[in-house]
Copies of this chain bind each other. A is one copy, B any other.
Amino acid sequence: MASLVRSGTWKALKNGSPSFFNLKFRKFLNPQLQALTVRSFSAIMSPPSKAVVYEHHGPPDSVTRVVELPPVEVKENDVCVKMLAAPINPSDINRIEGVYPVRPQLPAVGGYEGVGEVHSVGSGVKGLSPGDWVIPSPPSFGTWQTYIVKDENVWYKINKGSPMEYAATVTINPLTALRMLEDFVTLNSGDVIIQNGATSIVGQCIIQIAQFRGIQSVNIIRDRAGSDEVKEKLRKLGADVVFTESELEVKNVKGLLAGIPEPALGFNCIGGNAASLVLKFLRQGGMMVTYGGMSKKPITVSTSSFIFKDLSLRGFWLQKWMSTDKAKECRSMIDYLLERARDGNLKYEMELTPFNDFHIALDKALGKHGSQPKQVIKF
């Protein structure tokens, strides 16, 4: 995989300190500079790229800046991709903050998934041509920039009829939903799952994929103004039941299920009380899978939940899953999910924001303006 850091000099476009950048990057890039001195004059070069770069970990709104990266060589097996769109995911924010266990070497370009159009290809590339739509699959570092040069193997060609914002976001959240429904408990038609954080993209995908498989979903959302509207939206996606957390402040939550069987599998992306609610709903021998911790509160479990109720607790991390053998099926799953998106059977709320307004989108993703749809940068 080619480095995301380009040869030559950088020009900081925002809050920049070009001389400092040059100094640091020249040293870092020295081997590449040396290589450049012997390259043929006929080498294909990428256009310059505008990129969201951070040199230090810290609050994303203060450590990121948009800079111009100079052209790089498109080598024999490389593909130069003009990015079309890339989302701001919570894990992107955690990587910049430095709290994510796997992080790119600094300085780094932000972003981890997205979609682009092939701009040019190296002489040895057979499988891709200019104009093709591609995604990095498995996802990889540095998608928040206008042009990326990486080895052909990094890119997966997708159906150009796919809605751009779904192509940009399909490899992380919808794939997490799909894997979590498959990998932990054998669910059959008529079985039931329970989840908190049901309005998250993963949550919305779980509702829809479950419904398609004949699995019912019990959904928990936080208390908020307009919760009736939110409930209605989730029901339209296929949610069987939706509760706010405060509606579950009753002695016997299972009494609220009416005719729905007790859930065999639960998903937790919140922690704290919202996780305890999922545990309460689970049936004897059920399992809760944690894939996020938006409340930043831990999960508390009674001894009897383990001994007498025989609950199991596990976790899911897509990045780890991607490193296993199972990940070979990743690309066919992407096709499946994008087909559902094309047919209108996989939907979730997003807001496309022009790249020039990156820091506005970032502020929204950081929660500075309250609850906002998923931010997707349009290049």
Contact = CB atoms under 8 A, between A and B. Distances in A.
Interface in A301-334: 301-317, 320
Contacts of A316: 307
Contacts of A292: 303, 307
Contact of A298 (B302, B310, B315): B302
A314 B312 contact: yes
Nearest to A313: B313
Given A298-B301, A300-B298, A300-B300, A315 B320 contact: no
A313 B310 contact: no
Which has the most chain B C-beta neighbours within 10 Å: A101, A291, A299, A305? A299
B303 A301 contact: no
A290 interface: yes
B314 A306 contact: yes
Contacts of A293: 302-304, 307
A272 to B, nearest CB: 10
Contact of A299 (B289, B301, B308, B309): B301
B101 A303 contact: no
A123 B88 CA distance: 80
Nearest to A303: B293
A271 interface: yes
Contacts of A311: 314-315
A320 B309 CA distance: 10
A296 B289 CA distance: 25
Contact of A307 (B290, B301, B302): B290
A303 B94 CA distance: 14
B312 A303 contact: no
Contact of A303 (B271, B303, B305): B271
A292 B308 CA distance: 10
A287 to B, nearest CB: 9
26 contacts: A101-B304, A271-B303, A289-B306, A290-B303, A290-B306, A291-B307, A293-B303, A293-B307, A298-B301, A298-B302, A298-B303, A299-B300, A299-B302, A303-B315, A305-B315, A306-B313, A306-B314, A307-B315, A307-B316, A308-B315, A308-B317, A309-B315, A312-B312, A312-B313, A313-B313, A313-B314
Q: Which 6 A-B pairs have the closest CB atoms?
A: A306-B315, A293-B303, A290-B306, A313-B313, A307-B315, A307-B317
Given A310-B317, A313-B313, 18 more contacts: A101-B308, A271-B303, A289-B306, A291-B307, A292-B303, A293-B302, A293-B303, A293-B304, A293-B307, A296-B303, A298-B300, A299-B302, A300-B300, A301-B313, A307-B316, A307-B317, A310-B315, A311-B315
